[in-house]
Structure formats: structure tokens, C-alpha cells
Chain A
Amino acid sequence: MTVYLYGDDFEAVLSAIYDAGTSGMKSREQRLELEGSREPELFCRYVQTEKERRKAESVAEAVRKKLSPQVFRLLWEVSLSGDPEKGDVMYRFLVDGFREGPEIIHMLTIPSVWRMHELRRAVFSEAHLLTGFVRFGRLPEGVLAGRIGPKNDVLALLSEHFEDRLSGENWLLWDEKRDKAAAHRAGGETVLLRGISEQTGRKVREAGRQDPFAGLWKSFVDTVAIKERENRRCQMTHMPLRYREYMTEWQLQACVPKTDMLG
């Protein structure tokens, strides 16, 4: 078994797919693996793929031409997934795709196609949840600052959303897990940044707590619940703990402690 190791971005995955696809070996004799996601195994030959624009373009071109632009879009979306298997799923999907043709995207009974749709769905559902759960806090400088730590790399999808919605505001949204950020200037463009300074990071973390509207929001959230219908478990199901640490209404204490939540 030959294993192609790839780094965590779209170009790197496509490069690994290129290497696997042009190796002349059968697909069942090789697989893709995200660097550092697994312990090395005996009897495997590990190949470190070089990420190269040329290789990525070549795969992209073949997909767009022989399959369809939608298939290409699907590949990009799945590449945002936080699942370490994604590269291998994308590879197998393309092997099946080049055999079946453009209709592949609908053939949900083929396992690789099914997995692609599942991964995509996970990316979009997290992005959708976060369009609601992201909280901005006003920094003393006037900028609205927010922080996320999602499982999937949804910053690009989210910044598209907020670019349209908060067009007239200065805002910064920071993915602290990947140390990437999107910054928007009022009435202008949104740019993606590869990281922010430690000092800015600290400020962003504090943003929600200093904001006077945070307290008003918290009292709204507390008051709007109907106590005769209290249902903490349901609240929990809809709003998993991993999002809460980022949400203003849960950060301000006086808030119900976690033990209460677990009943």
C-alpha cells in the first residue's frame, strides 16, 4: 500500500490526488492521508506529496472538462471538511467519477459519492449554525470583533455571509484554531488574513465581555424563555457546548452553570 501524505488545504489535496492518479498503480493499492492524522503503519510506503499549483490545476482542469463545474465545486467544499479522511474520499470519488462520468454526482448508492455528500453536508451545516452563533463584540476602537473555533474550515463561507450582511461595519472574524481571520472595512472589501497578532487575539477574546449591549442581550435571552416549558436538554441538543464558549450569552456569568445543564 502506498500512502500519499498531504497538507490541509485544497491545493495540497489536489496535488496528492494528482500524484496518486499519475502513479500508474491501482486505486486499491494506494490511499491519501492527512499529514499527522494517523500513526504510520508497517508495510506501507509513505510518499510526501509536494504541493504544486501545476498539479492542482491539472486535476481541476480534468474535473471541469470531463465531469462538471459542479463536481469541482463539490471538491472544494469537501476540502473544507475537518474530517481527516476527506482527501481519500475525494480521491476515491474521482476514481469513480472518471469511470461513470458527470452523472456521478447523483449516484448516491456508490459509497464514495455518499461520503462526499455527507462531508459536504457537515461543512454546510456547521457554516449555517455559525451564521447564527457567531457573536461580535464592539472593541473600544469601534471595530466589531468575533471569534470562532469550528471543526470545519468555514471561515470563507462565513465571511461571504457577513460581507453582505454587515457591509456598513468594520469587522474582524478570527478562526482561532487555524489562526486565520477575515477583516472587513465598512463599505469596502473583505480580506482573508493568515493570522493576527497575539495582542489583537487577546482583544478579540475580551470583546464580548466589555460590550454594554452584551448585558442587555443576556437579559433578553433569559427573559424570553417560558418557565412552564423549560427544557434544558433540548436547548443543549440545539446548541452544543463547543459553540457556547464563544457566545456572549454564555460567557457572561450569572448564567446557569454547566452542572445545572446536565441535570
Chain B
Amino acid sequence: MLLQEELSLQQKLEILTDAAKYDVACTSSGSERKGKKGTLGNTVPAGICHSFSADGRCISLLKILLTNQCIYDCRYCVNRRSNDRIRTAFTPDEVCTLTMEFYRRNYIEGLFLSSGVLHSPDYTMELICAALEKLRREHGFRGYIHVKAIPGADPALIRRAGFLADRMSVNLELPTEEGLKALAPGKSREKILLPMRQIQQGIRQGREELALYRKAPAFVPAGQSTQIIVGATPESDYQMISAAESLYRSYGLKRVFYSAFVRVNEDRLLPALPGGPPLLREHRLYQADWLLRYYGFRAEELLSENRPNFNVLLDPKCDWALRHLERFPVEVNRADYYTLLRVPGMGVRSARRIVEARKHGALDFPDLKKLGVVLKRAAYFITCRGKTMYPFRMDRDVIAAGLTGEERRRIWEINERDAYRQLSLFDDFHMNACPSEEDRQAAVWGVM
């Protein structure tokens, strides 16, 4: 297919944004780099949202593809070879102009550069490196850069990119080998995991060097992330979060993103999804992911071979608590931090505040409310000075009925797309922060 070069910058921007939008990662957190006198850009650990698109997602980075041309034919992807679409590519200069000018006007935190595979992985990765080098060296850009590592590219090229970027990612896309085989001919788990391992080792090595010589250049300082598509293949939630857990553990990933499958291609191997993208399922996976990362839960505590999918009516934490009533109620004035964290309706912040505040006197229910505890949920699982908030029977069905009443309304909202998963996600975990802030929350509270 021929690359169209005679397009205006505006047309290219539209085409290459449209082709990039299914990658859900748009956070700019996890990296701290001060500005430098006379230049442009810095990064802040909290990450910043600059706008919100019509689907309610945070816009933080200029998320574009270098090219939407691709030699592969992944069935779920708009850019697959067999699709009849206009193909184009940015020149490195165009990428620099857009990034610099958008950044100056405070439209963005930086650049998220991804790409289809043009000619070969090496050829593409080389182009990506050239664009980033230009941006960092010629233009002195110090803002945030997230870049894709193209599986199959020469490790030397991936390394080069890693010294220019803040974050790198390789998308796993499908959590099992079978899934990949079915939908992504030309990809394999092994091929995807290889660059991930390389980046992980680069990060580790970089940290050691940084400890030795303070001036060593940083390698992927904001860590690496990946994306898993939800609902394109028949994998269970258990398989999804187990995959995520092992990526966190064995590959040191910073984030796993879940992306409800949007059916962009007609293909008999793709599920029909008459109800639209599986947003509720995606929402539950994000909730569970938080529990894995910040609350000390393990995947097999949440789900198992016999119970492979999340309850649609209850969030994973409430669901877990209901199955472990023998551990409740806990006494707020005595329970340790980790025990508090497991109480539904309590978040990292409120648990911290409780531990701090109770040093100065015993806490009661009205105090908890001030400290950010959601009593509607927590009430069933705690006592203050030996008393429950109101009398009730410690019985699964009674509590479940109380909890699901509230949850039903929210599920209805998600299904009606009247609420936004990350909005309610923050609600669940009592954070008044914007979606890209999770890494800062972690850093602030020391629960990385």
C-alpha cells in the first residue's frame, strides 16, 4: 500500500490520531525531571490531565502513531494490513513541531509515540529513535515521552529509545498464547515478552549505575507498562488478573492497562458484542488491579479456577470481604494498617489517616467520616470502641443485600455509560485525584 505524503499536517494528525486512540494508556506520571533554564519542559511525578475527550478519558499526551502502515494483520486492529485505509506517516520534524508547539501552549504533558510496523521492526524502531533524538537533542525537549517498543526490533534500538523516553511499553494485547495465535498471526507471547524483559533489565541496571555515578543517564525512569484487551477472546477474569500479577511480579511493570474491546473490524473470529464494549468488566479488572498493586491482595485471593469471573453486582473488595466474614468486624482503634486496608469503604488514604489520628484519641464513627471512610460500606465490617454503627446481624445475605443496593445503581450507570469507570474507580478507593495520579498516590503513601 502506498504512503500518502501529500496530505496537510492537519489531515495527517487526524489520521494518525484516529489510528492511535485505541491504546488506552495516557498517563504522564512516575517521572520527575526539573526544567532547565532556557529550555522547554519538565516532568512532575503526579502526572497532569490537560483535557478530557468526549469519551471521558483524560488527555495528557499527544498520542499519535508515527505511521499507520503495517505489515501485520492482527484481527482486532484498525491498522491491520488487510484493511483498506489511507496510510500515511509523520516525518520526524512533524512530530517535533507538533510536540513542541502543543507543549508550549500547555495542551499536553508530552508525547506518546507508537507505530504500525513499516517494512520491518528494525526499520520502524529506527524511525522512532530518530524522531525522539531530534526532539530531545535538537529541540532540547524535557517533557514526558512514552514510546512503544516494537517486538522483534534489534535490542540495541530498543536500548537507544529507552534512554530518550520516560516510559516504554510493549502491549501484551491478549493474555494467553492461544488468544494471540487466534487473533494476531505473526505475534507470539515469547516475541512480546522478550523486549519487556530487556527493558526490565535495562531499568534495573540503570538504577545500579545511578547509585554509582549520579550523572548516569536515566533509562525508562517512569517504568514500563502494557495493555490487555478485554473481551476479544474467551479468557476469564482470573486469567487476566493472573497475567497482570505475573507481569507486575516477574517483569516489574508499573502499570497494566485494560481496554474493553471495541469491534473495529468485520471478522468472523471477533466476538459480536451487541452490548458494546464490555465496560463493566473492564471496570472490575481495574478495581482488582488496584487491589493487587496497593492493597496487598493476590490474584488467587480474589478469584480461582472455580470462580473465574468477578461478581457483576459487587466490587472485588466487597466480594472478598463477604467471603471472609470470619475476619470481621475489625476494631478501628486497634487494627493495623494492612487490616484496615482490607475493609470495604476504606482506602489507602483513609487507612493512613486513621493510623495517624487515633494516636491523639479514640475514634468514633463521625470521625471516620471526616477521615474519608465510606461508612455506607465500611459500617458492616468495623467497630469503634467495640460498637458497631448500628445493630445488624453478621450474616452474608443481609450484608450483601445492603451492599448491592448501592452497587446496582452504579452498575446501571456504567452500563448506561452514564458514569465513567475511572470516576467510580476513584470513588471506590476514595481518591479525589485525577486518573493519572495513581502513581503519585503510591509514592506519597509509600505503598509502591
Q: Quick check: is B447 within 8 A (CB to CB) of the other chain?
A: no
A219 touches B10 (CB 8 A): yes
Given A108-B357, A226-B262, A238-B56, A168 and B38 touching (CB < 8 A)? Answer: yes
Taking CB atoms and an 8 Å cut-off, the chain B residues in 226-268 that contact chain A are 260, 262
B13 touches A164 (CB 8 A): no
A230 touches B51 (CB 8 A): no
Q: Is the interface of A mostly helix, strand, loop or mixed?
A: helix
Instruction: Write out the residue numbers on chain B whose beta carbons fall within 8 Å of the beta carbon of A214.
Output: 105
Residue in contact with B106 in the complex, picked from A129, A136, A186, CB distance below 8 Å: A136
B418 touches A233 (CB 8 A): yes
A223 touches B54 (CB 8 A): no
Bound-state Cα–Cα, A248 to B104, Å: 13
Q: Quick check: is B296 within 8 A (CB to CB) of the other chain?
A: no
Residues 84-104 of B, flagged 1 when their CB comes within 8 A of A and 0 if not, give 000000000000001001101
A234 touches B102 (CB 8 A): no
Instruction: Write out the residue numbers on chain B whose beta carbons fall within 8 Å of the beta carbon of A229.
Output: 55-57, 260, 262, 276-277, 279, 417
B63 touches A224 (CB 8 A): yes
Q: Quick check: is A228 within 8 A (CB to CB) of the other chain?
A: yes
Instruction: Write out the residue numbers on chain A whose beta carbons fall within 8 Å of the beta carbon of B367.
Output: 108-109
The stretch among B29-37, B116-124, B299-307 that forms the contact with chain A is: B29-37
Q: How far is the CB of B367 from chain A (nearest CB, A)?
A: 5
Bound-state Cα–Cα, A238 to B62, Å: 19
Q: Quick check: is B310 within 8 A (CB to CB) of the other chain?
A: no
Residue in contact with A231 in the complex, picked from B38, B56, B140, B353, CB distance below 8 Å: B56
Residues 110-145 of A, flagged 1 when their CB comes within 8 A of B and 0 if not, give 000010000001000100110111111110000010
A167 touches B35 (CB 8 A): yes
B40 touches A109 (CB 8 A): no
B50 touches A164 (CB 8 A): no
Q: Quick check: is A85 within 8 A (CB to CB) of the other chain?
A: no
Q: How far is the CB of B409 from chain A (nearest CB, A)?
A: 14
A166 touches B423 (CB 8 A): no
Q: How far is the CB of B405 from chain A (nearest CB, A)?
A: 22
Instruction: Write out the residue numbers on chain A whose beta carbons fall within 8 Å of the beta carbon of B41.
Output: 165
Q: Quick check: is A107 within 8 A (CB to CB) of the other chain?
A: yes
Q: How far is the CB of A172 from chain B (nearest CB, A)?
A: 13
A235 touches B105 (CB 8 A): no
Residues 54-67 of B, flagged 1 when their CB comes within 8 A of A and 0 if not, give 11111110110000
Q: Quick check: is B361 within 8 A (CB to CB) of the other chain?
A: yes
Instruction: Write out the residue numbers on chain A whose beta carbons fall within 8 Å of the beta carbon of B420.
Output: 231, 233-234, 237-238
B417 touches A231 (CB 8 A): yes
Taking CB atoms and an 8 Å cut-off, the chain B residues in 334-390 that contact chain A are 353, 356-357, 359-361, 363, 367, 370-371
Given A187-B37, A223-B18, A108 and B361 touching (CB < 8 A)? Answer: no
Q: Quick check: is A262 within 8 A (CB to CB) of the other chain?
A: no
Q: Which residue of A lies closest to B424 (CB)?
A: A234
Residue in contact with A167 in the complex, picked from B40, B55, B57, B101, CB distance below 8 Å: B40
Q: How far is the CB of A149 from chain B (nearest CB, A)?
A: 16
Instruction: Write out the residue numbers on chain A whose beta carbons fall within 8 Å of the beta carbon of B102.
Output: 213, 216-217, 220
Q: Quick check: is A256 within 8 A (CB to CB) of the other chain?
A: yes
Q: How far is the CB of B48 from chain A (nearest CB, A)?
A: 4
Q: Quick check: is B107 within 8 A (CB to CB) of the other chain?
A: yes
Instruction: Write out the residue numbers on chain B whose beta carbons fall within 8 Å of the beta carbon of A136.
Output: 104-106
A217 touches B107 (CB 8 A): yes
A220 touches B22 (CB 8 A): no
The 9 closest A-B pairs by CB, nearest first: A234-B56, A234-B420, A225-B53, A225-B54, A231-B56, A164-B35, A187-B38, A229-B55, A132-B48
Listed A/B pairs (24) with beta-carbon separation below 8 Å: A107-B357, A108-B357, A109-B367, A114-B370, A131-B44, A132-B109, A146-B106, A164-B34, A165-B40, A167-B38, A213-B105, A219-B14, A219-B17, A220-B62, A220-B102, A224-B63, A225-B54, A229-B57, A229-B260, A231-B55, A231-B419, A238-B49, A239-B52, A248-B107
Chain B interfacial positions (CB closer than 8 Å to A): 9-10, 13-14, 17-18, 20-22, 34-42, 44, 46, 48-60, 62-63, 98, 101-102, 104-107, 109, 140, 260, 262, 276-277, 279, 353, 356-357, 359-361, 363, 367, 370-371, 417-420, 423, 432, 434
Given contacts A131-B48, A225-B21, 5 further A-B contacts (CB under 8 A): A216-B13, A228-B262, A228-B276, A234-B423, A235-B54
